[in-house]
């Protein structure tokens, strides 16, 4: 085929050299050869090049369709992942709120226990202080009674003129003082 093309090109050049016409002059032989070469080239391209070009175009089209399908699938997956992420974030927020509420509850319980424990300790200290005060008062009253008995015996001894030391005298004075306490 290339040889045919070369022969046609040679003939065209010879004829162009012989004819001294202008560029707009129509020559029948040249036109037939030009159409013949064009048709031959068209047949060669149709048979060999056109299927390869169409195959490449179709392959490119299929690759683009596959890429579009993959992009659509990727978009759907990313939308699903985004929804999952949002759900996980919402769950985490709910868990954090629950943890904070639970911590507050535990803190309130601990505070209430601490207040109750402090109140119990305070009540125990107050009861012990009252017991100690009562014991001290009882000791002071007993000491005061002994002093009163001793003073009464000393006064009575001066009045009577003799010393009253016996245990019987002390008992009589203590009983008298007890009757005075019972009246008040």
Q: How many domains does the chain have?
A: 1
DSSP secondary structure letters along 27-78:
-HHHHHHHHHHHHHHHHHIIIIIHHHHHHHHHHHHHHHHHHHHHHHHHHHHH
Per the domain annotation, does 6 fall within a domain? Answer: yes
pTM: 0.39
For residue 162, CA distances in Å to 149, 158, 181 come to 16, 7, 28
Which residue range forms the structural domain that includes residue 34?
Answer: 1-15+27-46
- Contact indicator for 20, 35 with CB cutoff of 8 Å: no
Averages of pLDDT over each 10 residues, the chain, 184 residues: 66 59 75 93 91 92 95 94 94 94 93 93 92 90 80 68 64 73 61
For residue 173, CA distances in Å to 48, 67, 116, 138, 177 come to 150, 122, 50, 18, 6
What interhelical angle do 28-44 and 2-18 show, nearest 10?
Answer: 160
CA gap 90, 98 in Å, rounded: 12
Start-to-end C-alpha separation, the chain: 152
Give me the pLDDT at residue 68, please: 95
Per the domain annotation, does 160 fall within a domain? Answer: no
Give me the pLDDT at residue 8, please: 64
Give me the pLDDT at residue 160, please: 64
Per the domain annotation, does 2 fall within a domain? Answer: yes
Token reading at 28? 């029948």
Token reading at 48? 């060999």
Give me the pLDDT at residue 62, please: 96
């Amino acid at each position: 085929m290339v040889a045919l093309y070369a022969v046609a090109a040679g003939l065209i050049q010879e004829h162009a050299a012989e004819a001294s016409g202008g560029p707009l002059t129509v020559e029948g032989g040249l036109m037939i050869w030009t159409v013949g070469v064009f048709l031959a080239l068209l047949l060669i391209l149709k048979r060999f090049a056109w299927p390869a070009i169409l195959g490449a175009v179709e392959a490119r089209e299929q690759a683009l369709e596959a890429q579009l399908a993959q992009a659509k699938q990727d978009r759907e997956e990313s939308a699903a992942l985004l929804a999952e992420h949002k759900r996980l974030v919402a769950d985490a927020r709910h868990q954090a709120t629950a943890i904070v509420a639970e911590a507050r509850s535990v803190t309130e319980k601990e505070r209430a226990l601490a207040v109750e424990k402090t109140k119990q300790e305070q009540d125990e200290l107050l009861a012990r202080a009252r017991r100690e005060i009562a014991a001290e008062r009882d000791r002071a009253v007993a000491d005061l009674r002994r002093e009163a008995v001793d003073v009464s015996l000393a006064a009575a001894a001066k009045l009577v003129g003799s010393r009253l030391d016996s245990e019987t005298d002390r008992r009589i004075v203590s009983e008298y003082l007890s009757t005075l306490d019972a009246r008040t």
